[in-house]
DNA sequence: AAAGTCATTCAAAGCGCTTTGAATTGTATT
DNA sequence: AATACAATTCAAAGCGCTTTGAATGACTTT
């Protein structure tokens, strides 16, 4: 059933039918109704390819998912992010086109996407500091939105990001307020922009109290359970182990928890753990009450925001960069408590009274 | 730069240029070379939409990702599966189109995809027993491959699946051989076909030794860390707690581990845990040596196989159903050991000698 | 030398839609 | 009654590619 068929069936021209279906004003309301009903009855759907060719709009958004060539890791937050973005696209009648690219081959991928013209815009994932993709995409002239930011990139661009610096600054302050002074940071991979910002927030909070970060208490890497576990084991073996851990993901936090429990330590009492929580669907930080104290920010919501912003850009054609900064909320769970060392001092002080 | 432009530039007809670029035989080799070079120099890329319209092939594969309306959960294996499938599509010049659909609205989604004609085939995820989508897709006449199977569906269809029944049968036998008799099953959601099969394998192995499954030792649900934790806590509180756990995912296993460690039990010594491991990129079961004893089967590889099969179907147009059964491998880690109860009996026996 | 082959190229139609510019009709204006 | 105008509708061109069927030479074959 093509447009032409439908038109013949109705005794109308394809022009009128097309206009009726696309909501153009210069068509009689009675006709429009008749057309709509026929379309319904004969289950007519415009051929996407034809529409795209005729309008020049692909009605699709591209997501380039980089896969680390070293670790072969698929970032676990993608699934939730895509779910969020997908909702928005679906509502707008857009398709979501995924391209999986080894991260040493991204430039070629973007160029190819551009010249194939099969998407109207691109969503950029996982920016690194000084990420060259931004300049490239600005060059290519394809609308894009970055999920995250790229420190060191001068050129303006549109982004949606969580205030990672502030989140980790507050998290660190929270631990400092509990009396912790030896705080470990179990961070994401070093080059990633979000990891840099989190570290910056961490260091800023420490500096605010006249403290310096101890390099022995900082580790950066893939945010896996194994990472957290290894970090906790290594750091607990130090002469002066940390009394609190700040981790970048729930998985890392779970690993840290295991390492600490193996050492016979109880979370929240002996050692504190505070993690960032992306609110992934399959990795919940407790049901009602959070298990870990956490800086919480929904990746799925970020996906929605990114998608909505990109669609606005595509629709308006306005190249003015837009930005949106989301704040994480600090939720308090069972995994943090006053610094034990301090606690003991206090007890001691009480005794001597 | 369009085909026409390029043709004019070369003093050839669009026909010849098109054929030269698409490898048709009736083109002079010298001409072909000249065309190829010009295409390269002027960075010509055929417009995807035009190509699609002209050929009638969408050069894209659709993936419908269902989102549970109750749990709002995005299945964490999707990311890895898509990575695997994406590799294959990219190599074949196909796009991957994702549609995120609430799981109460899938039929409409499939029909829409069909009539929009923007994909050449569909990959079906997460089949349930008696899944109605299979009949629907057979009706719609769009090539499709199911990742998994749907027990109870009579109509033939193409699928790629892990031998879940056999995997869990072997896993259970392994535990039985270690002397375990009280074995818990921490399974996936009940309706899901893979969960049914795993349970069947579990029960079959028990029946093979004349044992029946104890309903008190079976739990089914979303495979999260919380699920495993809750299951372990509940079951350890039983009068006659299990000596071994069989879990359906690494996350569940991690939860069980936590529950057991909270109870002061050591994995592999006091209690055994055997899990299925999908080899997700971000959730590794140890580096060299596995942490958990596991039935292992790469979801990413399954993605590749599914994609390859679907592309073959699309290319050949042959509707004959194809099937591919992958076997999981049983790897032995630190989390399993002889049944403690049995062990004690043996020690006792040794002492009395 | 005429007829038949083969290799190579081309003109034109078509994929299914949108959109421009013109045609038609009915109604309001003078 | 003649003109203007708005409201509808339509024919045809075009989006950039593929593909059919025909055309052009050059080369064999008889």
Portion 53-72 of A in contact with B at CB < 8 A: 53, 58, 60, 65, 67, 71-72
End-to-end CA distance of chain B: 91
Whether the per-residue pLDDT at A255 is higher than 80: the answer is yes
Higher pLDDT, A350 or A293: A293
- Cβ separation of A287 and B226 shorter than 8 Å? yes
Q: For position B340, what pLDDT does the model report?
A: 81
Range of the domain at A320: 60-161+301-327
Which A-chain residues 125-164 have CB contacts (< 8 A) with chain B? none
Flag whether residue A282 sits within 8 Å of chain B, measured between CB atoms: yes
Residue scoring higher pLDDT (B349 or A93): A93
Per-residue pLDDT reduced to its tens digit, A257-313:
999 999 999 999 999 999 999 999 889 998 889 999 999 999 999 999 999 999 999
Residue A248 and residue A105 share a domain: no
* Chain C nucleotides with an atom closer than 7 Å to a protein C-beta: 7-12, 14-21
Angstrom distance, A15 CA to D11 C1'? 9
Q: Which tokens in the block code for residue A235?
A: 């750091």
DSSP, residue by residue, A66-113: EE-TTT-PPPTHHHHHHHHHHHHHHHHT-EEEEEEEETTSHHHHHHHH
Residues A145 and A203 in one domain: no
When pLDDT is cut at 50, 70 and 90, the band that residue A57 belongs to is: very high
Q: Which residue in the block uniquely carries the two structure tokens 């002239």?
A: A141
Q: Does B120 touch chain A if contact means CB atoms closer than 8 Å?
A: no
B195 and B122 housed in the same domain = no
Return the minimum-mean-pLDDT range out of A101-110, A134-143, A210-219, B159-168: A101-110
Helix axes B14-21, B3-10, angle to 10 degrees: 110
User: Predicted confidence band at A347 (pLDDT cuts at 50, 70, 90)?
Assistant: low
Going from the C-alpha of A145 to that of each of A62, A131, A137, A142, B205, the distances in angstroms are 11, 13, 10, 10, 53
- Report yes or no on B353 lying in a domain: no
Secondary structure of A182-211 in HEC code, one letter for each residue: CEEEEECCCCEHHHHHHHHHHHHHHHHCCC
* Segment holding B159, helix H or strand E: strand B159-162
Consecutive H or E run containing B312: helix B299-316
Asked whether the predicted pLDDT for residue A52 surpasses 90, the reply is yes
Three-state SS at B27: coil
Q: Are residues A115 and A209 in the same domain?
A: no
pLDDT at position B344, please?
52
**Shared domain check, A146 and A124:** yes
pLDDT at position A66 is: 84
* Residues 6+ away with beta carbon under 8 Å from A206: A172, A176, A183, A212, A213
* B16: CATH: 1.10.260.40
Q: Under an 8 A CB cutoff, do A286 and B226 touch?
A: yes
Residue A62 has what pLDDT? Answer: 97
Cα–Cα distance, B300 to B280 (Å, whole number): 8
pLDDT band for position A116 (50/70/90)? confident
Chain A interface includes B49 (CB < 8 A):
yes
Could you tell me if residue A280 is inside a domain? yes
Written as tens digits, the pLDDT of chain B (353 aa) is 899 999 999 999 999 999 999 999 999 999 999 999 999 999 999 999 999 999 999 999 999 988 877 777 778 899 999 999 999 999 999 999 999 888 888 888 999 899 888 999 999 999 999 999 999 999 999 999 999 999 999 999 999 999 999 999 999 999 999 999 999 999 999 999 999 999 999 999 999 999 999 999 999 999 999 999 999 999 999 999 999 999 999 999 999 999 999 999 999 999 999 999 999 988 999 888 999 999 999 999 999 999 999 999 999 999 999 999 999 999 999 999 999 875 555 555 555 54
Q: Is there a single domain that holds both residue B215 and residue B269?
A: yes
Q: Write out the two tokens for A206.
A: 């420490």
Most A CBs within 10 Å, among B52, B59, B100, to test the A interface: B100
Q: Do A95 and B90 touch (CB under 8 A)?
A: no
| d(C-alpha A81, C-alpha A134), whole Å | 20
Q: Give the closest residue to B185 by CA, choosing from B193, B20, B200.
A: B200
The pLDDT, as a whole number, for residue B293 is 98
What is the pLDDT at residue B203? 98
Residue A353 has pLDDT above 80, yes or no: no
| A201-250 residue pLDDT tens | 999 999 999 999 999 999 999 999 999 999 999 999 999 999 999 999 99
Looking at the structure, do residues B338 and B232 belong to the same domain, yes or no? yes
The answer to whether residues B187 and B216 belong to one domain is yes
Rounded alpha-carbon distances, angstroms, from residue B214 to B164, B184, B201, B245? 20, 8, 15, 13
pLDDT (tens digit per residue) in A177-197: 999 999 999 999 999 999 999
Residue A86: other Cβ atoms inside 10 A = 26
B-facing residues of A in 213-252 (CB < 8 A) are: 222-226, 251
Q: In the prediction, which pLDDT does A138 show?
A: 94
- B21 with B115, same domain? no
Distances (CA, A) of A38 to A32, A112, A251, B194: 10, 40, 54, 43
DSSP secondary structure of B215-245: GGGEEES---HHHHHHHHHHHHTSSS--SEE
Q: Which chain B residues are within 8 Å of A118, Cβ to Cβ?
A: 48-49, 95
CATH of the domain at A65: 3.40.50.2300
Residues A226 and A319 in one domain: no
A266 and A212 in one domain? yes
Length of chain A: 353
Q: Pick from B10, B39, B9: which is nearest to B23 by CA?
A: B39
Q: What is the pLDDT of residue A263?
A: 94
- Residue A111's contacts (CB-CB under 8 Å, 6 or more residues apart) are A136, A140
Q: How many domains does the structure of chain A reveal?
A: 3
Distance in angstroms, CA of B4 to C1' of D18? 13
At residue A74, the pLDDT reads 78
């Amino acid at each position: 059933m093509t447009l032409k068929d439908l038109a013949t069936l109705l005794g109308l021209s394809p022009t009128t039918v097309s206009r009726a279906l696309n909501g153009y004003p210069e068509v009689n309301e009675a006709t429009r109704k008749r057309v709509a009903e026929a379309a319904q009855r004969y289950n007519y759907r415009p051929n996407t390819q034809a529409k795209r060719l005729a309008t020049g709009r692909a009605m699709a958004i591209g997501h380039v998912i980089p896969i680390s060539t070293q670790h072969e890791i698929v970032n676990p937050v993608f699934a939730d992010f895509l779910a969020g973005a997908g909702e928005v696209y679906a509502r707008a009648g857009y398709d979501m086109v995924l391209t999986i690219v080894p991260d040493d081959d991204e430039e070629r991928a973007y160029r190819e996407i551009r010249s194939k013209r099969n998407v109207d815009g691109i969503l950029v994932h996982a920016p690194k500091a000084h990420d060259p993709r931004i300049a490239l995409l600005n060059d290519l002239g394809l609308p894009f939105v970055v999920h995250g930011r790229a420190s060191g990139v001068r050129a303006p661009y549109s982004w949606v990001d969580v205030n990672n610096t502030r989140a980790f600054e507050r998290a660190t302050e929270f631990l400092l307020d509990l009396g912790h002074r030896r705080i470990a940071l179990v961070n994401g991979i070093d080059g990633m922009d979000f990891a840099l910002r989190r570290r910056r927030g961490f260091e800023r909070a420490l500096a605010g109290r006249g403290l310096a970060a101890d390099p022995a208490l900082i580790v950066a890497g893939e945010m896996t359970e194994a990472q957290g576990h290894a970090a906790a084991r290594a750091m607990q073996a130090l002469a002066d182990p940390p009394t609190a851990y700040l981790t970048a993901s729930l998985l890392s936090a779970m690993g840290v928890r295991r390492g600490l429990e193996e050492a016979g330590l109880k979370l929240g009492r002996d050692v504190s753990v505070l993690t960032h929580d992306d609110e992934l669907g399959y990795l919940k930080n407790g049901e009602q009450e959070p298990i870990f104290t956490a800086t919480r920010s929904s990746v799925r919501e970020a996906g929605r925001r990114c998608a909505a912003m990109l669609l606005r850009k595509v629709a308006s054609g306005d190249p003015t960069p837009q930005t949106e900064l989301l704040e994480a909320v600090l939720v308090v769970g069972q995994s943090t408590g006053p610094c034990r060392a301090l606690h003991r001092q206090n007890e001691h002080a009480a005794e001597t009274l």
